[in-house]
Amino acid sequence: MSATKVAAEPTPDRAPNKLKLTYDIAMLVAIIIDLALMTLDAILMSSSIMHLSQQLNLSSWIISYRDSIHQPLRTVGEFFTVFLVVELLVRWAIAIKDNHHYRWFFFPFIHWYEVLGCLPQLRALRLLRAIVIGRRLHQLGYQVLPQSWLAAGRFYFDVLLEELSDRVILTAISNIRQQLLDKQASKALISNTISRNQAEIEAAIVAILKQSLSPYLDSNNGKLQDPAINQLLATEVGAAIQDGLAQTPELHRYLKLIPIAGHLIESQLSHIAQHVGENVTLSLNKRLLATASLDKVLQEVAHGIVTIDISNPTLEALLATLIEDALSGLEAQVKVQQWKHHQYLKI
């Protein structure tokens, strides 16, 4: 394996030790060769290969390998395992001597994959050490693998992470749906959520109501901005007061007791009622639509909405529909495989 200098990579401020660099490269090559031979030996010693060789009339070659090469290759692998154990102990002693770690016994925990990789049953973990050495060489500015291989490795690593995370999220969404099937549990969840965030919800409702009403209100004089609406309200209130006076029989009876002037007074009262209604409407608009008063009204409305009893069947159905739509939207978004888009876009 060759290690070529990468011109684009930044060189470190301090030049690496050439002896250590050479040793890392040698260990990288040795570990890769050991893992390749181990994999090849495992394949050739498998029963499936023996069956395939019989089908292809190559069983004599496989038998020859098992009789002549397998045992020496296994012995070489055992010697390499002993070498790794000794090499690990020497590096541990050097780390203790140079105080590389806060405590002397930290070394085997930090290099746990190397410790476990010394076991013949866990030889595959030696690949992690090869990856660590390769990464260190890459950081020093030496390209151990072609850039296309690294890009492909990063791509498939991202694919693996995305697929795993998607499965976890989809499982969590499924569990949430199962929990929401229990009406008592879902009701308690919604109630607790609202109670914990009551102040924020009220503030949000007040802000939304203000925003919705602002186009129709004139904050300078406490009136509705549309004069036609103001006039309509004033006229309707005045007409309501007129109707109230007209439908009061006691007032008619008392006015009839006044000779001549009674009918005139009744007519004037009708006009006065109209003006009183208009003035009352304008006064109410000015008082109720003022900023301070309007804020209090909107806060009471928001408080009433937040503290509403969610046991109402219609409200329960609405909340269940909203939650289901939210979960379905999230589920649909999670199911989109982003790595496919990246692949098509050559990212």
Give 6-22 pLDDT, tens digit per residue.
Answer: 444 444 445 556 777 78
Residue 6: DSSP 8-state? P
47-55 vs 59-68: helix crossing angle, rounded to 10? 140
Q: When comparing pLDDT for 10 and 61, which is higher?
A: 61
Residue 89 banded pLDDT, cuts 50, 70, 90: very high
Tens-place pLDDT, residues 40-56: 888 888 888 888 888 88
Give the pLDDT of residue 270: 67
Q: When comparing pLDDT for 343 and 318, which is higher?
A: 318
Q: What is the 3-state secondary structure (H, E, C) of 9-43?
A: CCCCCCCCCHHHHHHHHHHHHHHHHHHHHHHHHHH
Q: Tell me the domain boundaries of the chain.
A: 4-145, 180-344
Tell if the pTM clears 0.85, that is, is over it: no
Beta carbons of 128 and 116 less than 8 angstroms apart: no
Query: How far is residue 182's CA from residue 46's CA, in Å, rounded to a whole number?
Result: 52
Give the pLDDT of residue 5: 45
Give the pLDDT of residue 93: 92
Beta carbons of 165 and 336 less than 8 angstroms apart: no
Query: How far is residue 202's CA from residue 187's CA, in Å, rounded to a whole number?
Result: 20
> Strand, helix or coil at 347?
coil
Give the pLDDT of residue 10: 42
Give the pLDDT of residue 90: 92
Give the pLDDT of residue 345: 47
Mean pLDDT of the chain: 76
Give the pLDDT of residue 152: 79
Q: When comparing pLDDT for 229 and 221, which is higher?
A: 229
Query: How far is residue 299's CA from residue 209's CA, in Å, rounded to a whole number?
Result: 10
pLDDT of 1 above 60: no
Give the pLDDT of residue 8: 40
Integer angstrom CA distances of residue 220 from 29, 203, 225, 282: 82, 23, 10, 14
Instruction: Report which secondary-structure segment, H or E, holds 170.
Output: helix 147-180
Instruction: Say how many Å lie between the first and final Cα of the chain, rounded.
Output: 29
Give the pLDDT of residue 11: 43
pLDDT of 116 above 80: yes
* Number of other residues whose CB lies within 10 A of the CB of residue 28: 21
Tens-place pLDDT, residues 290-313: 666 667 777 777 777 777 776 767
pLDDT of 82 above 80: yes
